Amino acid sequence: MNLPDEIRNLVNLDSLNEVHIGESKSRVFRILGKTGELYYLKITHSAYVKCEIEREAEILHWLAGRSVSVPSKVALVYDDTQTYSLQTAISGVPLSDATVGLKPDDCMRLGAEFLRTLHTLDISSCPFNRTLEVTRKLASINLEKGLVDESDFDSVNQGKSAKFLFKELSQDIKEDLVFTHGDYCFPNIIFQDGRITGLVDWGRAGIADRYQDIGLFLRSFKSNIAEPNTKLFLESYGLVKGLDSDKVFFYRKLDEFF
């Protein structure tokens, strides 16, 4: 593979191995550094994803030293057609990996407790806005540019057009704002030795309603393990009001546009 010198000088090209887990719009590779450290390399030619990768690098810098483990940026390089992002690896495997072997209730507790920690981060100085005012506009842009894949809609939305689904996003939502990951799904949650060690793919992170993460986590739990035990989730996460099903389905609809 032809990589920029800034990347080639840091890695062992013979160790390059493409990763196919998850739904990233970038090509993702595992690769070793010159002295054996594990890195991940993201390569994209999409202008939209390029913007997301740039944003992710800024988010990782902001998160460094806070209570949630995240990768570190090693290099961010551009050429005329592509963007290359080299990051450190977090120890462990994705929660979606077959080797994890957690019982459903243990997996639910770990995922909910980690999400609670993430959502307690102080947002007073956070510069990353993913409130509905922002994400509805981004969804509209993706719709206008034909970037919404209707064939990839959740089963409950199959048969609906993207235009029709977008109209359903116009309902009023009272936002309960926290710092969110934005795509809190099993492939992005890293697990090792009985605990969640961190998260990857932070390009959609920022201040948003907590159900941005809750809705996608419960959907991912169902598709990877079983029907989620929502009572256990609420107890482990610490949500005393009960589950807001309307918000769960709203943020899953919104996710169809990204």
Q: Which superfamily does 93-255 belong to?
A: Aminoglycoside phosphotransferase (APH), C-terminal lobe (3.90.1200.10)
Q: Which CATH superfamily is domain 5-88 in?
A: Phosphorylase Kinase; domain 1 (3.30.200.20)
- Please determine, for residue 130, whether its predicted confidence score (pLDDT) is greater than 90: yes
The answer to whether 179 and 205 are in contact (CB under 8 A) is yes
Report, in angstroms and rounded to the nearest whole number, the Rg of the chain calculated over CA atoms: 18
| Cβ 249 vs Cβ 216: under 8 Å | no
Q: Residue 7 corresponds to which tokens in the numbers above?
A: 């990347």
Is 183 assigned a catalytic role?
A: yes
By the 8 A CB rule, do 181 and 95 touch?
no
pLDDT reading at 48 higher than 70? no
pLDDT the model gives residue 102: 95
Residue ranges matching CATH 3.90.1200.10 in the chain:
93-255
For residue 92, the model assigns a pLDDT of 95
If residue 191 lies in a helix (H) or strand (E), which one and from where to where?
strand 189-192
Torsion-angle region of 2 (φ positive above 0: left; ψ -120 to 50: alpha; else: beta) = beta
3-state secondary structure of 256: coil
Provide the pLDDT for residue 22.
Answer: 59
Note the pTM of the prediction, 2 decimals.
0.91
How far is residue 47's CA from residue 52's CA, in Å, rounded to a whole number?
9
What whole-number distance in Å separates Cα of residue 57 and Cα of residue 133? 23
**Per-residue confidence (pLDDT) for residue 79, from 0 to 100:** 83
Among residues 183, 213, 244, 255, the one annotated as catalytic is 183
- Among 4-13, 53-62, 124-133, 184-193, the minimum mean pLDDT is found in 53-62
Residue 23 pLDDT more than 70? no
Q: What confidence tens digit (pLDDT) does each residue in 217-247 have?
A: 999 999 999 999 999 999 999 998 899 999 9
Closest CA to 187 of 216, 207, 164, 210: 216
